[in-house]
Amino acid sequence: QVQTTEAMGRLVVDLERVLDGTLPGLEVMDGDRLRIPRRSQSVSVFGEVQFASSHLYEPALAVTDYLDRSGGFTAQADERRVYVIRANGSVWRPDDSRWFRGGGEQLRPGDTIVSPIKLDRVNQLQLASNISQIFSNLAISAAALNSF
């Protein structure tokens, strides 16, 4: 069903590459709309940071600099899963630590840095305890039913 579903919604396009011919052209259909947002001069930081905010874009700053300007991570932040949503809608995620040190891609005006929440892993001992409690309750219920 997924393969036969018609895609609807937004399409991320690198318009510069389309216009200079390095990216195959797009077929524009009747009813299509092209929206080009105003050029932003800020970088926003959201998610599990102390103070979610937008900061004036400075080319020399790295992701960690903007995170620091937002007060740093909260205790619930998943620091290894930080990602950037580009102004064009594409998502950029670090592949290694070079990204944080500035050796990877550069931030651009309009980017949004997202610090996701850390999902707690299930404590294995607690899981085993819960499962044994369930089986114990089932055994007691079965014994009670057999006594009738």
Query: What pTM was estimated for this model as a whole?
Result: 0.61
Q: How many CA atoms lie within 13 A of 72 on its CB side?
A: 2
Average pLDDT rounded to a whole number, residues 13-23: 74
Pairwise CA distance, residues 101 & 29, whole Å: 43
Q: Express each pLDDT in 92-127 by its tens digit.
A: 886 544 445 555 578 999 999 999 988 876 567 777
CA-to-CA separations, 62 to 43, 55, 56, 66, 96, in angstroms, rounded = 11, 12, 13, 7, 14
Domain ranges of the chain: 39-115
Question: In the CATH scheme, what architecture does the domain 39-115 have?
Answer: Roll (3.10)
What 125-128 contacts at long range (C-beta under 8 Å, 24+ apart), as own/partner pairs, is none
In the prediction, which pLDDT does 95 show?
Answer: 59
